[in-house]
Homo-oligomer: A and B are copies of this chain.
Amino acid sequence: MDQQSAKRESGGKRIEGVMAEIRSRIAARGLVPGSRLPSVRAFAKTMQVSPSTVVEAYERLAGEGLIRSRPGSGFYVSSPLAPLTLSEIGPKLDRAIDPLWVYRQSLEDAPELLKPGCGWLPASWMPQVAIRKALRAISRGEGRVLVDYGTPLGLPQLRQLLSRRMGERGIAAAPDHIILTESGTQAIDLLCRFLIEPGDGVLVDDPCYFNFHALLRAHRANAIGVPMTPSGPDIEAFERAIDEHRPRLYITNSSIHNPTGATCSPVVAHRLLKLAERAGLTIIEDDIFADLEHEPAPRLAAFDGLERVVHIGSFSKTLSASVRCGFIAARADWIEPLTDLKMATSIGGGRLSSELILLLLKDGSYRKHLDALRVRLSRAMDETAARLAPLGITPWIRPQAGMFVWCKLPDGIDAADIAQACLADNVVLAPGNAFSLSQTARGFLRFNVAQSDDPRIFRSLERALKNAARSPGLLTGNR
């Protein structure tokens, strides 16, 4: 062995020694998730090695995912189960296009922001008068409603009503096969806990609601994207993904798909179900936009009879996001273990929220609100499209209903650049890649037509597009 390779080898051993020490501190919980590692200089002294050895050891541990570097502030122990922000998963994105950051911004009370990229209706579009009336009714009502826990499955009268409403869409779900949850998201989370193990494959649409990515990461599932077409997921790609990955689960919106507005055609629905059956795949049909439809589209849960399909809903998008209430309709034999799981992990299903929703559904005010809302959304959809057209921004499809329109930017323009430029004008956009697992939607933006009536949005877009077209090198950089 020559001197140099001997030196290299002992250098390698020193690096491994430093790595082993950090690993054992983490294993012994001397370093807990989120805690900062010793500084390079200090740890070099402790271990009696050179700073560059510590740097190399830390970088290798970061490569393994055991620790994370935060630029300018050192290294930290990774949290085992916390979902990473998308900027850490995919290519390096900046805040303006990190979907979780955009999401959080949209949720902050920041009246100066315009939010064509956000995922819900403006407060003024929601049935406030009816909610005020329902609150007053509850304030005069039975005392137990105000203070007691809900029943394990959730308010029986609301489950009865939900069962009837699903029946109208052809979904046969008895009240006892419905569980109330805090939200649609919590419903899907419960199902993931119940159905999948870390490492299991889960199909999602590409693009899809971006929180599915975060949710699946929290479950350490292996998310697999299936390209979306105007009539549902690309069925050949779906079949290939099944053969290749043997996924356990597919999560989708079969109607008024978020973000594309697509609706699954009967043919695609039928093929999907056949493939799901062959592969033993469970489908979560997240149907939180159902009530915005003009004509009910065919539902997977209706074709399937809740055999392989679990049906999810909530009222956050159509009634109130402040009053938390979602639901699961599932096969009979899953209800008991799902309820146990709900009780163990959240108790869940607030009684006050359920009673409020029940009142609003019962007295007809929700139905009236929906009738007006559909018309208003349809008009806003046309207006938004008309305002975007002169900018060269064109709808991928004209959705049948709903609040989203998925739009193609002029060729060569990167939505991330536009989002970044518009953010400087206090306009929060939703760039396509926030929804795309394969990061193939850089030419798209999702517009919420109910949040797109301010002319400043379009002026900001126009400026950003002009600048992007003028100096593409500057803005797109070497991404």
Residues on A facing B (Cβ under 8 Å) = 28-36, 76, 79-83, 85, 100, 103-104, 107-109, 120, 123-124, 126-128, 131-133, 135-136, 138-140, 143-152, 156, 182-183, 185-186, 189, 193-197, 211, 214-215, 217-218, 246, 248, 279-282, 308, 316, 319-324, 331, 333-334, 337-338, 340-341, 343-348, 350-353, 356
Which B residue sits closest to A109, measured CB to CB? B151
Given the complex, which residues of B lie within 8 Å of A156, measured CB to CB?
A: 109
Chain B residues whose CB sits within 8 angstroms of the CB of A145 once the complex forms: 322
Q: Are B135 and A138 in contact (CB under 8 A)?
A: yes
Q: How many copies does the complex hold?
A: 2
Contact of A341 among B81, B108, B348 (CB under 8 A): B81
Specify which chain B residues have a CB less than 8 angstroms from the CB of A123 in the assembled complex: 143-144, 146-148
Shortest distance from the beta carbon of A58 to any chain B beta carbon, whole Å: 17
User: A343 is contacted by which of B194, B211, B337 (Cβ under 8 Å)?
Assistant: B211
Q: How far is the CB of A294 from chain B (nearest CB, A)?
A: 23
B146 & A337 in contact (Cβ 8 Å cutoff): no
Query: In the assembly, what is the distance between CA of A356 and CA of B211, in Å?
Result: 28
Q: Chain B residues with Cβ under 8 A from A100's Cβ?
A: 340, 343
| Closest B residue to A188 using CB positions | B345
CB neighbours of A183 from chain B (8 A): 346-348
Q: Which of A109, A126, A147 has the most CB of B within 10 A?
A: A147
Query: Which of A144, A323, A346, A347 has the most B CB atoms < 10 Å from its CB?
Result: A346
A109 to B127, CA, bound (A): 31
Closest 10 CB pairs of A and B: A29-B280, A214-B344, A82-B337, A126-B147, A135-B139, A322-B351, A324-B350, A34-B333, A186-B346, A149-B321
Contact of A334 among B34, B149, B319 (CB under 8 A): B34
Known: A82-B341, A131-B146, A131-B147. 16 other contacts (CB 8 A): A28-B246, A29-B248, A80-B194, A80-B196, A82-B194, A82-B338, A83-B344, A104-B152, A108-B152, A132-B146, A133-B139, A135-B135, A136-B136, A148-B321, A218-B345, A322-B350
A107: B residues at CB distance < 8 A? 149-152
Q: Are A35 and B333 in contact (CB under 8 A)?
A: yes
Q: Judging by beta carbons under 8 Å apart, are A29 and B281 in contact? A: yes
Shortest C-beta distance, A7 to chain B (Å), equals 36
- Min CB distance A115 to B, Å, is 12
Do B353 and A350 touch (CB < 8 A)?
Answer: yes
Report the Cα distance A104→B179, complex, angstroms. 14
Q: Are B324 and A182 in contact (CB under 8 A)?
A: yes
In this complex, the member of A156, A193, A248 whose beta carbon has the largest number of chain B beta carbons within 10 angstroms is: A193
B-side contacts of A308, CB under 8 Å = 32
Given A322-B147, A322-B148, A322-B149, do A29 and B279 touch, yes or no (CB 8 Å)?
yes
**B351 pairs with A321, CB closer than 8 A:** yes
Q: How far, in whole Å, are A294 and B129 apart by their CA atoms in the complex? A: 43
Measured CB to CB, the closest approach of chain B to A49, in angstroms, equals 24
19 residue pairs of the A-B complex, CB under 8 angstroms, read A29-B248, A33-B337, A35-B333, A79-B195, A81-B194, A82-B193, A82-B341, A83-B344, A133-B139, A135-B138, A135-B139, A146-B320, A147-B321, A148-B322, A214-B343, A323-B350, A324-B324, A324-B353, A352-B352
